Amino acid sequence: MSVGLEVDPASAVAGKAIRGDAAARDRLFEETYLRLLRYLGKLTNGNSALAEELSQETMVRVIRSFERLRDPERFIPWVFRIATHVWRDYHRARTAKEAVDAAAPGAAAEPAERRELTDRVLRELSRLPEVYRVALTLRFLEGMEYEDMAEVLEVSAVTLRSHVARGRQMIRRQLEGDVES
């Protein structure tokens, strides 16, 4: 059994899990959970408690719906689509007071060792409107292809290319403005 030769190990494991391999299913869910934590951590601007809560909700939905997944090749985009819906549901449901309360713990100072440019880019990413922040996070921090992103967000790849370009441009302009100040 040579998983190392597979193009996408997650889809190979997903295929085994769909066919009833409990060990493969457990491995798949563990690895997926870690990716969800990273993705939702970026969407929540580093609020690890909220990212964990949303990741758990996503995994509950994934586990409940797993039997309906027919194409193991689409597992990761399917999971990220669910995570994005969980994030949007949370985002829509919270009140203005909850938004302030949720942002306060995540506003803690970043570690001093972090490279300055990375810190500035991530700070600007967190300030972008959701549509651009989600697109840039999926593309550059999760390494997704535009077709997979399109499936996750249920918009066309052309639209996503535009969102990524605009988001990058917005960050670039803000960074250039910081340098001039």
CATH architecture under which domain 1-108 falls? Orthogonal Bundle (1.10)
Give the list of residues 6+ apart from residue 127 with CB closer than 8 angstroms, or none: 174
User: In this predicted model, what pLDDT tens digit does every residue of 98-118 receive, in sequence order?
Assistant: 433 434 444 444 444 346 777
Give the residue with greater pLDDT, 90 vs 6.
Answer: 90
For the chain, the distance separating the N- and C-terminal CA atoms, rounded to the nearest angstrom, is 58
Sign of CA dihedral 71, 144, 103, 163: negative
Dist. CA 75–CA 79, nearest whole Å: 6
Mean pLDDT of the residues in the chain: 79
Range(s) within the chain of domains with CATH label 1.10.1740.10: 1-108
- Checking if the pLDDT of 88 tops 90, the result is no
Sequence ranges of the chain with CATH classification 1.10.10.10? 111-181
Q: C-alpha 147: how far from its chain's center?
A: 15
Cα separation values, 73 from 35, 69, 79, Å: 17, 10, 12
Name the class of domain 111-181: mainly alpha
